[in-house]
């Protein structure tokens, strides 16, 4: 899904989840510094599709890089917006979206099937 015109932030969650901790009945998965791999606490497991973390040392060393990058969801939603504008000339309302997405051959429907999935 990466697009050459966007710098996308890396995901700080591990590909293989280990060390899940339950806090007040909510499972939290560990996250790690996107640069050096240092542990960085945890994020709720449910409904989490992305997390980016820099430890204090790397943030001080590398500066505020996040202001120049986008999270994967932002890139995806921008693509959906641009596809609507290109194909239909406007952003679709809910009723129009349902109709377009029900057609599996529409470009917008294909794009939505490529949406980033949570781990």
Average pLDDT over residues 50-72: 74
Judged against a pLDDT cut of 90, whether residue 60 lies above it is answered with no
44 shares a domain with 62: yes
Cβ pair 79, 111 in contact under 8 A? yes
Average pLDDT over residues 78-84: 85
User: Does residue 51 belong to any structural domain of this protein?
Assistant: yes
User: Does residue 92 belong to any structural domain of this protein?
Assistant: yes
Question: What is the CB neighbour count within 10 angstroms for residue 52?
Answer: 19
Cβ pair 45, 69 in contact under 8 A? no
Mean pLDDT of the chain: 79
Average pLDDT over residues 66-74: 60
User: For position 15, what pLDDT does the model report?
Assistant: 79
Strand 39-44 and strand 21-23: the pairing is: unpaired
84 shares a domain with 56: no
Which of the four pLDDT bands, split at 50, 70 and 90, describes residue 90?
Answer: very high
Q: Cα(91)–Cα(21) distance, rounded to whole angstroms?
A: 41
Judged against a pLDDT cut of 50, whether residue 108 lies above it is answered with yes
61 shares a domain with 84: no
81 shares a domain with 57: no
């Amino acid at each position: 899904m990466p697009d050459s015109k966007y710098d996308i932030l890396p995901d700080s969650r591990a590909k293989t989840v280990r060390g899940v901790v339950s806090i007040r009945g909510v499972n939290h998965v560990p996250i790690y510094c996107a640069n050096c791999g240092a542990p960085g606490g945890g994020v709720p497991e449910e409904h989490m599709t992305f997390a980016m973390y820099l430890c204090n040392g790397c943030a001080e060393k590398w500066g505020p890089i996040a202001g120049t990058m986008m999270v994967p969801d932002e890139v995806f939603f921008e693509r959906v917006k641009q596809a609507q504008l290109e194909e239909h000339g406007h952003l679709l309302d809910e009723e129009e979206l349902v109709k377009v997405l029900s057609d599996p051959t529409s470009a917008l429907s294909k794009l939505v099937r490529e949406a980033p999935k949570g781990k």
